[in-house]
Structure 1
Amino acid sequence: MRLLWSPRSPFVRKVMILVYELGLQDRIDCVRAVAVPRGAPNPVITAENPLGKIPVLLRDGLPPLYDSRVIAEALIALVPDGDGDGERLLPASGEARLTQLRWQALGDGLTDNLLLWRIERTGASGGDPGTMASYRAKVIATLAALEREADALAEAPFGLGAIAILCALGQLDFRYRTSGWRSAHPRLAAWAARQATRPSLVATAVQDDIGSDEGPVMDLVFGGG
C-alpha cells in the first residue's frame, strides 16, 4: 500500500500514528504530496481523491481510501483477530467505541477549525473578522471541553480518539506557537505531556520540510483581546 503523505499534515500524522501503533510500517510506503489551500489543487492528489486532500491510501486493485477516519477503520481491520491492538485502539462496539469516536470527532473538528482559521487569516484580505471570531470561539470551546475530559482521557486506554486530539494539539504547537493553550488548560496539557514520549508520537512529529510561505505565526488564542 502507498500513502499520499506530508510531514506537515495533522490528518496524515493521525494515520501514521495508527500505522506505528498497529505495527504496519513495513506494509505502507509514504509518497510525498503537497495539498494546497488555495488555487488549483495538486493534480497528483485529485487523480486519487477528487476532494484534493491528504491522506489518501492507495491499495493495489482496490479503490483509494480518503479521509483519515475511513483510513483508520481500514488499518484497524488489517490487524488479525485476537491480536488486541485494533480492539484497544477502537473497540468493536458499545459505549467504549462511542467514546473513542466522540473524542475523534472533537480532535478532528478542532484540527479543521484551526486549519480553516489559519487559511482565513492568511488570505490576501487579512480575513473576515466575523469568520475569524467564529473559528476562535469554536477552538476555545473545544479546548475547554477537552480540559473537562482530561481525567477521562487519562483513565481510558490509548485509542483513536486520543490520537485525533493529540494531532490537533500538535497543530496548535506547529501553527499557533504563542497560543498559551497549556497554561490555560493544565490538566489537558499534563495528559498530552505524558503521551508525548510514546514512540508512535515521537516517530511522527510534525516537520515543516518545505518551509512556510503562508504568513506569520497566528495570533494569541488565549489572553489579551
Structure 2
Amino acid sequence: MILRTSGPSPFGRKVKIVAKMLGIYDQLTVEMADTSNPEDTLRSQNPLGKIPILILDDGRKIFDSRVICEYLDAQVDGTSLHPTESNARWEALTLQSLGDGIIDASILQVYETRLRPEDKRHEDWLSYQSDKVKRSLDHLSKNAPSLEGDLTIGHVAIACALGYLDLRFDGKWREIYPGLVTWLDAFRARVPAFDATKFEG
C-alpha cells in the first residue's frame, strides 16, 4: 500500500501512528505529495487535492485520514482502535472529530498567515478559528480522555492535534494547559509511535 502525505501533515501523522500501533506500518510505502503543485498526481488520485491518500495494491484510493485509519484497523484481527460497542464507539469517534476539528481550525490559521499578504489578512477570521481551538482545549483540560484501558482513534487524534499545535504554534498551549501536557506525556510514554512520527523540520 502507498500512503501519500507530507512530513508535517498531522492527518498523515495520525495514519502513521495508527499503522504502527496496529503493527502494519511495514506494509506501507510512504510517498511525499505536494498539495500546492498542480503537476503532482495527487489531484487525480483525490479530486479534493488533499492528503493523506492510501493507494491500495489493486489501485483503489482511500481518503481522508478517518477512512484510512478505519480501513487499516479492519485489516488487523484483535484489538481495534475503533470500538464496536455502541457507547464506546460514539465516544471514540466524537473525540476523533474534536481532535480533527482542532487541526482543521489550526491549519486555516496557518494558511491565512502564510498565504495572504499581511494587509489582506482577515483578523476576525483568524479569531474565529483560534476561538475554536481555545474552546476545545478548555473542554479537554476538564475532560481529558482516560488513558487507562484500551486506546482508541480518539486518543490518537487528540495527541496529533496537540502535536500540531507544538509544530505550528510554538507549543504556546503548554503554558495554559499543564494538565494536557501531562496527558500528552503519558500518551507518548504509552505510544512510542507518537515520537517516532514527529516531523523534524
* Fold shared by both chains (TM-score > 0.5): yes
Equivalent in the alignment of 2:53: 56
Summarize deviations over 1:104-142 as a string: whole Å, max 9, x none: 000000000000011112233321011011011111101
* Paired AA for residue 142 in structure 2: R
Equivalent in the alignment of 1:123: 115
Q: How does 1:9-24 map to 2 (within 5 A)?
A: 9-24=9-24
1:68 and 2:60 aligned? no
Is the alpha carbon distance of 1:42 and 1:69 closer, same or farther for their aligned partners in structure 2, counting shifts above 3 Å?
farther
**Aligned match of 1:97 in 82, 89, 92?**
89
Distance 1:98 1:170 in 2: 24
- Identity score, percent: 35
Q: How does 1:86-165 map to 2 (within 5 A)?
A: 86=80, 89-126=81-118, 127-150=121-144, 152-155=145-148, 157-165=150-158
Is the alpha carbon distance of 1:153 and 1:35 closer, same or farther for their aligned partners in structure 2, counting shifts above 3 Å?
farther
Distance 2:109 2:85 in 1: 35
Stretches of structure 1 that go unaligned for 5 or more consecutive residues are 209-225
Deviation at 1:63, TM superposition (A): 2.2
* Paired AA for residue 9 in structure 2: S
Deviation at 1:77, TM superposition (A): 0.3
Deviation at 1:5, TM superposition (A): 2.2
* Paired AA for residue 46 in structure 2: N
Deviation at 1:26, TM superposition (A): 2.1
Stretches of structure 2 that go unaligned for 5 or more consecutive residues are none
Q: 3-state SS of the aligned residue for 2:146?
A: helix
> 2:147, 2:187 within 8 Å by CA — same for their partners in 1?
no
Aligned length: 198
What's the C-alpha RMSD, in Å, of the aligned pairs?
A: 1.5
> 2:99, 2:160 within 8 Å by CA — same for their partners in 1?
yes
Is the alpha carbon distance of 1:42 and 1:206 closer, same or farther for their aligned partners in structure 2, counting shifts above 3 Å?
farther
Is the alpha carbon distance of 1:12 and 1:98 closer, same or farther for their aligned partners in structure 2, counting shifts above 3 Å?
same
Question: Runs (4+) of structure 1 moved beyond 4 Å?
Answer: none
Distance 1:201 1:136 in 2: 24
TM-score by length of 2: 0.92
The structure richer in helix per residue is: 2
Deviation at 1:62, TM superposition (A): 4.6
